[in-house]
Amino acid sequence: MTITTGDTLPEASFSRIGAEGPEQVALSDLTKGRKVVIFAVPGAFTPTCHSAHVPSFIRTKDDLAAKGVEEIICLSVNDPFVMKAWGEATGATDAGLTLLSDGTGAFTAEIGMNFDAPPVGLMGRSKRYAMLVEDGVVKLLHAEESPGTCEISGGEALLAAL
d(CA 108, CA 58): 23
Q: Are 126 and 75 in contact (CB under 8 A)?
A: yes
18 pairs with which residues across the strands? 21
Task: Say whether 49 is catalytic.
Answer: yes
Q: Which of 17, 49, 77, 100 is catalytic?
A: 49
d(CA 69, CA 59): 14
User: What's the gap between Cα 5 and its chain centre?
Assistant: 16
Q: Are 23 and 81 in contact (CB under 8 A)?
A: no
Q: What CA–CA distances, in Å, run from 1 to 4, 7, 10, 123?
A: 9, 11, 12, 19
Residues 6+ away with beta carbon under 8 Å from 121: none
Which residues are tagged catalytic? 49
